[in-house]
């Protein structure tokens, strides 16, 4: 079993560190946020990932996992895995400044024949650039992109669809592949550039799939078709598959927006016109306006009616269900747009606690408070528990029984016996509940 350091204790770093400790490795996890490290050393995990707190506590008590803010304990170490942020820079590229600054410090610390593993999502050429920054002929850089989803981080790490190891050096690649041997997942050995590109290619493809179904949903509305039925037919084709065919308020989160943007910049730089990806990004930006128009119609009866003073209750604020992450949440982009139009917003999200306000939204601790005196309720995130709310009670406290279901979450059964008039997405029959 290896002794390794993981740098960055966020969604990817903390999950990787805790899971690699579970797989028997000795892991020191470094983060430059002292309060996060103190919290972690006390066995507390600040992100909502099923199974992660248990794994962190298990690692701490077995001694396989420890946390620190300092790079000093890494002196002489054989392997360092970088799980640092690579956010969108102002020009749309991936901002590698944090990664590069840490790489600049690692050259002096790594032991002989050390390996640096790039788990962050990084553009093609980063492994090569990292090797330059390390300035150590004996140290190898290996690309090992991560594909976990928020809300399923531990499950995805321990049971991945595939492991990608992009190494120019066979032995360094073997050492990284060995970390995952006990997961039984297929390991794809590639050159570093292919590993780097494969990560962006996967996220961009997922984004295009959702944009495709969102535009299809608009078409369904125009033509009187049901997007759920169209998607069900498409999804049963093995070549297409049923995942990522649910229309909604657009794709968001900490990865798809920045990664599509970075891939577009990479393509531009390489002289390739990636028009279909550009269109998918444009369609996604437009999707929020599509939803706001839908809400405006439902509340005022007209696409140009005024929302000034309208009380709108929002169910769901996070970018998807199963996470507390609000980064690049389409729900918040819609909230901002509604607030600009003068609407007064109250919101509830099971993943958002301990906050009074998120952007323009006053956060309530209970869905009933969101419905209270509301001119409309809008479902923005697909939390399954919203199906089981007491919709009759929500209707009783609302000013008007208007419901906009941007995730097509609620079916006729959930709303049976209530006066709610539901507007879904791509249903072709606005104002009518439809079976999912
Ligand atoms: N979030 C995901 O679902 C996901 C999945 C796959 C890949 N990725 C990629 O993994 C990388 C990390 O993403 P994340 O979501 O875990 O980020 P994150 O923001 O959750 O975590 C990053 C961590 O790095 C720490 N950090 C920042 N600068 C540091 C420094 N100089 N030294 C030490 N620690 C430092 C931060 O304090 C934070 O804890 C990104 O490239 C991302 O694209 C993310
Ligand atoms: O049918 C669908 C599926 C998804 N979404 C939206 O698409 C976005 C992204 O969802 P998801 O991919 O589940 O989120 P992430 O957890 O950010 O995971 C993505 O980004 C990670 C970071 O790179 C990758 O590791 C994962 O493989 C990749 O799925 C969210 O806003 C979802 O609501 C839809 O609107 N409809």
Alpha-carbon gap, residue 5 to 202, rounded angstroms: 27
Kindly give the distance from the C-alpha atom of residue 252 to the centroid of ligand 2, in angstroms, as a whole number.
7
- CATH code, residues 227-436: 3.40.50.720
Q: Is 316 in the pocket of ligand 2 (CB under 6 A)?
A: no
Per-residue pLDDT tens over the stretch 300-324: 999 999 999 999 999 999 999 999 9
What average pLDDT does the segment 238-254 reach?
A: 98
pLDDT at 436: 30
Ligand nearest to the CA of 246: 2
Nearest CA to ligand 2 atom 30: 251
Q: Check for a shared fold between 3-190 and 227-436.
A: yes
Structure tokens at 182: 């006990």
Q: Which H helix or E strand runs over 142?
A: strand 140-143
Q: What angle do CA 242, 247, 248 make, to 5 degrees?
A: 140
Q: How many angstroms separate the alpha carbon of residue 40 from the centre of ligand 2?
A: 27
Q: How far apart are CA 174 and CA 401, in angstroms?
A: 61
Distance (Å, whole) CA 315 – CA 420? 15
Does 274 score more than 90 pLDDT?
yes
Q: With b meaning 16 or more CB within 10 Å and e meaning fewer, what string describes 182-202?
A: eeeeebebbebbebbbbbbeb
Q: 225 is written with which tokens?
A: 């078709």
Q: Is the pLDDT of residue 91 over 70?
A: yes
Position 429 scores a pLDDT of 65
Residues 6+ apart with CB under 8 A from 166: 127, 142, 143, 144, 145, 173, 189, 190, 191, 192, 193, 194, 195, 196
| pLDDT tens digits along 134-146 | 999 999 999 999 9
- Summarised one tens digit per residue, pLDDT across range 328-384 is 999 999 999 999 999 999 999 999 999 999 999 999 999 999 999 999 999 999 999
Q: What is the pLDDT of residues 187-213, one digit of tens each?
A: 999 999 999 999 999 999 999 999 999
How far is it, in rounded angstroms, from Cα 400 to Cα 15?
A: 44
Q: Whose C-alpha lies nearest to ligand 2, atom 3? A: 244
Task: Name, in order, each residue with C-beta under 8 angstroms of 282's C-beta and a sequence gap of 6 or more.
Answer: none
- The residues, any chain, with a CB within 8 Å of residue 197's CB and separated by 6 or more, are 124
- Which string of b and e fits 28-38 if b means at least 16 CB within 10 Å? bbbbeeeebbe
387 Cα: distance to centroid of ligand 1 (angstroms): 33
Q: Which atom of ligand 1 is nearest to the CA of 120?
A: 41
- C-beta atoms surrounding 420 within 10 Å: 21
Q: Residue 303 to residues 54, 228, 292, 294: CA-CA distances in angstroms?
A: 50, 24, 9, 8
The whole-chain average pLDDT of the chain stands at 96
Kindly state the average pLDDT of the residues 115-137. Answer: 96
Annotated catalytic residues are 255
Atom of ligand 2 nearest to the CA of 121: 23
Taking the C-alpha atoms of residue 318 and residue 330, their distance in angstroms, rounded to an integer, is 8
What SS3 class is residue 106? helix
Q: Tally Cβ neighbours within 10 Å of residue 389.
A: 20
As a whole number of angstroms, the distance between CA 167 and CA 175 comes to 10
- Boundaries of every domain in the chain: 3-190, 227-436
The arithmetic mean of pLDDT across residues 291-306, rounded, is 95
Q: What pLDDT is attached to residue 233?
A: 98
**pLDDT greater than 80 at residue 268:** yes
Q: Is 229 exposed, middle or buried (0-12, 13-18, 19+ CB in 10 A)?
A: middle
Q: What's the burial of 110, exposed, middle or buried (CB within 10 Å: 0-12/13-18/19+)?
A: buried
Q: Is 148 in the pocket of ligand 1 (CB under 6 A)?
A: yes
pLDDT at position 72, please? 93
pLDDT for the residue numbered 1: 72
What pLDDT shows up at residue 192?
Answer: 97
Binding residues for substrate: 147-150, 199, 244-248, 252, 320
C-alpha–C-alpha distance, residues 418 and 434, integer Å: 14
Annotated binding site: 31, 36, 86, 121, 147-150, 199, 244-248, 252, 258, 320, 327
CATH of domain 3-190: 3.40.50.720
Which residue's CA is the closest to the ligand 1 atom numbered 11?
A: 120
CA 373/CA 122 separation, integer angstroms:
48
Question: Which pLDDT score is estimated for 434?
Answer: 35
> Considering just the CA atoms, what is the radius of gyration of the chain in Å?
24
Distance CA 337, CA 347 (A): 15
């Amino acid at each position: 079993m290896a002794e390794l350091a993981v740098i960055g204790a966020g969604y990817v770093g903390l999950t990787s560190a805790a899971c690699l400790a579970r797989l028997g490795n000795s892991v020191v996890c470094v983060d430059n946020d002292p309060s996060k490290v103190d919290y972690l050393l006390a066995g507390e995990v600040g992100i909502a990932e099923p199974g992660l707190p248990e794994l962190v506590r298990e690692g701490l008590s077995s001694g396989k996992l420890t946390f620190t803010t300092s790079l000093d304990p890494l002196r002489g170490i054989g392997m360092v895995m970088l799980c640092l942020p690579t956010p969108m820079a102002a020009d749309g590229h991936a901002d590698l400044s944090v990664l590069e600054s840490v790489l600049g410090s690692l050259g002096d610390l790594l032991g002989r024949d050390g390996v640096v593993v790039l788990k962050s999502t990084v553009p093609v050429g980063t492994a090569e650039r990292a090797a330059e920054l390390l300035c150590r002929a004996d140290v190898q850089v290996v690309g090992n992109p991560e594909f976990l989803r928020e809300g399923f981080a531990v499950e995805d790490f321990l049971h991945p669809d595939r492991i990608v190891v992009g190494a120019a050096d066979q032995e360094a690649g073997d050492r990284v592949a060995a970390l995952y041997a006990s997961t039984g997942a297929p390991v794809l050995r590639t050159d570093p550039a292919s590993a780097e590109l494969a990560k962006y290619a996967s996220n961009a493809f997922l984004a295009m799939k959702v944009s495709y179904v969102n535009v299809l949903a608009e078409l369904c509305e125009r033509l009187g078709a049901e997007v759920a039925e169209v998607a069900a037919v498409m999804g049963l084709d093995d070549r297409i598959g049923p995942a990522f065919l649910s229309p909604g308020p657009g794709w968001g989160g900490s990865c798809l927006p920045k990664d599509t943007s970075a891939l577009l910049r990479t393509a531009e730089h390489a002289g390739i016109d990636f028009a279909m990806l550009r269109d998918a990004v444009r369609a996604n930006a437009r999707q929020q306006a599509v939803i706001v128009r839908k809400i405006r119609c439902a509340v005022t009866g007209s696409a140009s009616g005024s929302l000034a003073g309208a009380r709108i209750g929002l169910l769901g604020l996070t970018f998807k269900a199963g996470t507390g992450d609000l980064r690049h949440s389409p729900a918040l982009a819609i909230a901002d747009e509604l607030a600009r139009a003068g609407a007064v917003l109250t919101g509830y999200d099971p993943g958002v606690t301990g906050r009074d306000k998120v952007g323009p939204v006053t956060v309530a601790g209970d869905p009933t408070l969101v419905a209270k005196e509301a001119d409309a309720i809008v479902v923005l995130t697909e939390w399954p528990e919203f199906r089981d709310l007491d919709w009759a009670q929500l209707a009783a406290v609302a000013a008007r029984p208007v419901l906009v279901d941007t995730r097509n979450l609620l079916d006729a059964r959930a709303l049976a016996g209530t006066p709610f008039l539901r507007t879904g997405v791509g249903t072709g029959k606005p104002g009518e509940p439809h079976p999912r």
